[in-house]
Amino acid sequence: MSEAASRVQCDIDFGKDGRQAGYLRAPLSRNTSGWGVTLIPIVVVRNGAGPTVLFTGGVHGDEYEGPIAVSELARTLRPEEISGRVIMIPAVNPPAMANDTRLSPVDNRDMNRCFPGDPAGTISQMIAHFIDSRILPLVDVLVDIHTAGHSGDSALSTNMHAVADADILRRTLEAAEAFGAPYNVVFSGVDEFATLTSAAERRGVLTLGTELGGWGRVNVEGVRVARNGVRNILAHFGLTAGTPTPAATRTRHMMVPDQRHYTFAEADGVFEPTNVVGDRVRAGDPAGWCHAVEMIDREPLEHRYGGDGILWMSAGPGRVKRGDVVAVVMTHYAPLS
């Protein structure tokens, strides 16, 4: 957790009451502008004492539901509505958003694998360092809104890690219920150490993520869940009056218990999935087939599910590379000993 001086400039006074809107300015020298910057929108609304909630969207540039919901909240939330502080960054990664890609086109990095960041590093590392060292120490609750982007589709869900602190674990499960997505998934990913979620957890922040669709499109229901969810979080933690708006169905707590519940492509090709997200699947059943359509008479390579449960994520782009995730199966949540 580096506390070195940041190269990112910010004029926001995080301790000041009222509404402040501005930009984080991350230096980006380029051929046409030696003193250029990347402008990252930030809105802070504060009114007296109370918790601090951070909402982030657009960490990946091809995930749209978070930027829509967080920017709308940032435009409409007023200080008199809250008790506490709300920090909103709807487009954490503007270069990736402008490019409609997961990775930043400036440094070809996944920002959500750059935390805690590096003040002397590339632009993704600089931004990650500023969030980790300057914003997260102020925060009690983080909601980082994601989808599967172009890489796949996901059942509409919040997600979280099985943190060791029993009280934070319980409170995070309760926050997920308040957010109101159809599913909440407790999981350990393939590479979680350098994510924003893990950075926040290292600082003791209660952290909730989402996966609200994907396939490189705006999911209509995903946007609705995100819009309701951010407002529900404010009510749940007492920043706004009233109670969270109930979802149409109660959130089902799920988990991805181990790596066997991930299925990876074993060859390059065109992947034909067997199921859509939300389907019940069984271990050993076909998850899909990888077609080598450029090869004469080459039989498609069958892939199978490694566990029973409900399909949380499925392959998205059609074309896959060897090692790509093509299916993730979730099961009913049961705390692991």
Q: How far apart are CA 237 and CA 97, in angstroms?
A: 30
Please count the other Cβ atoms lying within 10 Å of the Cβ belonging to residue 291: 17
Average pLDDT over every residue of 110-123? 97
Question: What is the model's pLDDT at position 336?
Answer: 63
Average pLDDT over every residue of 122-129? 97
Distance, first Cα to last Cα, the chain: 29
Domain coordinates of the chain in residue numbers? 18-255, 260-332
Question: What is the model's pLDDT at position 189?
Answer: 73
In the predicted structure, residue 42 carries a pLDDT above the cut 70: yes
Average pLDDT over every residue of 280-299? 96
Q: Name 269's Cβ contacts closer than 8 Å, sequence gap at least 6.
A: 290, 291, 292, 293, 300, 301, 319, 320
In the predicted structure, residue 335 carries a pLDDT above the cut 70: yes
What Rg value do the Cα atoms of the chain yield, rounded? 20
In the predicted structure, residue 323 carries a pLDDT above the cut 90: yes
In the predicted structure, residue 1 carries a pLDDT above the cut 90: no
pTM for the full predicted model: 0.95
In the predicted structure, residue 304 carries a pLDDT above the cut 60: yes
What CATH class does 260-332 carry?
mainly beta
Q: Name 20's Cβ contacts closer than 8 Å, sequence gap at least 6.
A: 12, 13, 43, 44, 45
Burial class (CB in 10 A: 0-12, 13-18, 19+), 149: buried
Please count the other Cβ atoms lying within 10 Å of the Cβ belonging to residue 287: 22
In the predicted structure, residue 230 carries a pLDDT above the cut 60: yes
Would you place residue 203 in the very low, low, confident or very high pLDDT band (cuts 50, 70, 90)?
very high
Question: What is the model's pLDDT at position 337?
Answer: 56
- Do β-strands 301-304 and 286-291 pair in parallel, antiparallel, or remain unpaired? antiparallel
Asked if 61 and 102 touch (Cβ cutoff 8 Å), the reply is yes
> What are 68-111's pLDDT values in tens digits?
999 999 999 999 999 999 999 999 999 999 999 999 999 999 99
- Do β-strands 18-27 and 37-47 pair in parallel, antiparallel, or remain unpaired? antiparallel
Which CATH number fits the domain 18-255, given the four candidates 3.40.630.10, 3.30.420.10, 3.40.640.10, 2.60.120.10? Answer: 3.40.630.10
Question: What is the model's pLDDT at position 316?
Answer: 75
Average pLDDT over every residue of 247-252? 90
Average pLDDT over every residue of 294-308? 96
> What are 175-184's pLDDT values in tens digits?
999 999 999 9
Q: What are the backbone angles phi and psi of residue 186, rounded to the nearest 5°?
A: -90, 120
For residue 143, which of 238, 230, 253 has the smallest C-alpha distance? 230
Question: What is the model's pLDDT at position 120?
Answer: 95
CA angle, residues 316, 320, 322, in degrees to nearest 5: 135
CA angle, residues 277, 220, 263, in degrees to nearest 5: 20
Question: What is the model's pLDDT at position 255?
Answer: 97
In the predicted structure, residue 190 carries a pLDDT above the cut 90: no
3-class SS string, 265-282: CCCCEEEEECCCCCCEEC
Asked if 227 and 76 touch (Cβ cutoff 8 Å), the reply is no
Asked if 198 and 136 touch (Cβ cutoff 8 Å), the reply is no
